[in-house]
């Protein structure tokens, strides 16, 4: 940030600026603060004070200084940009957008501002609005892989799956070995109902970088949805080999073993998963199934009831609990749970029928 002639000719201003330029931020802060106390109407001094405060990550103080400078001189060059950057670095993405937009109006097409506005919307979770800014920035920088990956994530998170696949092609042209891009394409294909294509993409991601976080988990989950439980278990185990703290992978590994009727291997995995996260409803359900098989009826009832408490819409624990109550001679309890399970199944069938009835008919 440059100084006006009047401030530049001032010895105190020259000294403060020299400290600022040398990166001696604490000393520069003290020097600029002294100037603002002596001249409380000096907008430039407040702007410089905000800059050195921001460099020290004292964003609250920096924002106060910048706002004071704005009140004194709204047209001060670079002030809106620095204000936006302070908001952005403080992760106050919403408030960063207004000063960034004001600067973009002064400097149309400024690549840095376009990226910052796009990333601010991304940081807010406003992915749909972020896309045009990120796309414009990516178009202006054909070699930028990070921009395209962020754009692909925005498309994915806003459920614009074809957009993900279009950006994926651009990423491949820059880096044919991007595991992250393969995973994103796989997720998009899965959302579009192309399970085999999704699995193929995740297998490519595993081949490219078997250590990529969540790559084995993603492939395992896709295989699990296709009832390929043995192969899914291998992928969940591979994810745990990479990250032993991956609770979802451990819970899914346990469930895969349950689906394979390998209760001896499932039980310790499920118990470990629940020790890390007791809110995993399916893990409680699976443990209930295992305990019932071991004739640990009271333990099974406890786990199934917990599963129902965590996910009342899951019909499986209701049906399992009904069968268990029946085996324990609890006729009324069994009757009630069977009724709930039956009602939930009817609702599911009705919802499917409604969906089929309202689906567009194929062209003749």
228 and 208 in a common domain: no
124 and 189 in a common domain: yes
Q: Looking at the predicted structure, is the pLDDT value of residue 119 above 90?
A: yes
Tell me the chain's radius of gyration from C-alpha atoms.
29
Among the candidates 36, 63, 93, a domain finishes at 93
pLDDT of amino acid 361: 44
- Asked if residue 358 belongs to a domain, the reply is no
Residues 6 or more apart whose Cβ sits within 8 Å of residue 118: 130, 131, 132, 133, 134, 136, 137, 150
Average pLDDT rounded to a whole number, residues 34-63: 93
Among the candidates 212, 230, 254, a domain finishes at 212
Average pLDDT rounded to a whole number, residues 213-235: 93
> For residue 363, what pLDDT band results from cuts at 50, 70 and 90?
very low
184 and 136 in a common domain: yes
38 and 15 in a common domain: yes
Query: Which of the pair, 8 or 124, is modelled with greater confidence?
Result: 124
Query: Which of 322-340 are b and which e, b meaning 16 or more Cβ less than 10 Å from the residue's Cβ?
Result: bbbbeeeebeebbeebbeb
Rounded Cα gap, residues 213 and 112, in angstroms: 30
CATH number of the domain where residue 196 is located: 1.25.40.10
- Asked if residue 300 belongs to a domain, the reply is yes
Range of the domain at 151: 109-212
114 and 52 in a common domain: no
326 and 239 in a common domain: no
23 and 75 in a common domain: yes
- Asked if residue 355 belongs to a domain, the reply is no
Rounded Cα gap, residues 143 and 246, in angstroms: 34
229 and 206 in a common domain: no
204 and 121 in a common domain: yes
- Asked if residue 232 belongs to a domain, the reply is yes
- Asked if residue 287 belongs to a domain, the reply is yes
Q: Do 154 and 176 contact (CB within 8 A), yes or no?
A: no
- Domain total in the chain: 4
> For residue 358, what pLDDT band results from cuts at 50, 70 and 90?
very low
295 and 256 in a common domain: no
Q: Which of 175, 179, 199 is nearest to 189 (CA)?
A: 199
170 and 140 in a common domain: yes
pLDDT of amino acid 355: 41
27 and 69 in a common domain: yes
Average pLDDT, the chain: 87
Among the candidates 93, 118, 146, a domain finishes at 93
- Asked if residue 360 belongs to a domain, the reply is no
Rounded Cα gap, residues 215 and 212, in angstroms: 6
Q: Looking at the predicted structure, is the pLDDT value of residue 4 above 70?
A: no
- Asked if residue 1 belongs to a domain, the reply is no
- Asked if residue 98 belongs to a domain, the reply is no
Q: Looking at the predicted structure, is the pLDDT value of residue 200 above 70?
A: yes
């Amino acid at each position: 940030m440059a100084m006006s002639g009047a401030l530049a000719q001032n010895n105190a201003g020259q000294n403060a600026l020299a400290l600022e330029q040398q990166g001696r931020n604490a000393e520069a802060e003290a020097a600029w603060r002294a100037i603002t106390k002596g001249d409380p109407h000096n907008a430039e001094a407040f702007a410089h004070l905000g800059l050195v405060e921001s460099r020290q990550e004292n964003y609250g103080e920096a924002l106060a200084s910048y706002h004071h400078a704005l009140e004194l001189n709204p047209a001060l060059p670079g002030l809106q940009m620095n204000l936006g950057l302070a908001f952005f670095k403080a992760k106050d993405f919403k408030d960063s957008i207004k000063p960034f937009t004001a600067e973009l109006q002064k400097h149309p097409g400024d690549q840095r501002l376009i990226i910052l506005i796009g990333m601010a919307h991304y940081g807010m979770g406003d992915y749909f609005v972020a896309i045009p800014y990120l796309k414009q920035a990516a178009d202006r920088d054909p070699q930028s892989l990070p921009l395209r990956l962020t754009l692909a994530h925005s498309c994915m998170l806003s459920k614009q799956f074809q957009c993900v696949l279009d950006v994926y092609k651009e990423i491949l042209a820059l880096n044919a070995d991007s595991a992250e891009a393969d995973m994103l394409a796989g997720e998009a294909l899965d959302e579009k109902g192309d399970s085999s294509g999704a699995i193929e993409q995740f297998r490519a991601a595993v081949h490219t970088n078997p250590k990529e976080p969540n790559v084995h988990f993603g492939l395992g989950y896709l295989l699990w949805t296709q009832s390929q439980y043995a192969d899914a278990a291998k992928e969940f185990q591979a994810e745990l080999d990479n990250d032993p703290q991956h609770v979802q992978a451990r819970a899914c590994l346990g469930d895969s073993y349950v689906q394979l009727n390998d209760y001896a291997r499932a039980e310790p995995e499920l118990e470990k998963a629940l020790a890390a996260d007791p809110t995993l409803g399916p893990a409680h359900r699976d443990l209930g199934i295992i305990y019932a098989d071991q004739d640990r009826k009271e333990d099974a009832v406890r786990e199934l009831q917990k599963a129902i408490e965590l996910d009342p819409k899951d019909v499986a624990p209701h049906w399992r609990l009904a069968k268990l109550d029946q085996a324990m001679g609890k006729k009324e309890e069994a009757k009630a749970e069977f009724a709930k399970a039956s009602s939930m199944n009817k609702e599911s069938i009705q919802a499917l029928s409604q969906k089929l009835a309202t689906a567009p008919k194929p062209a003749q």
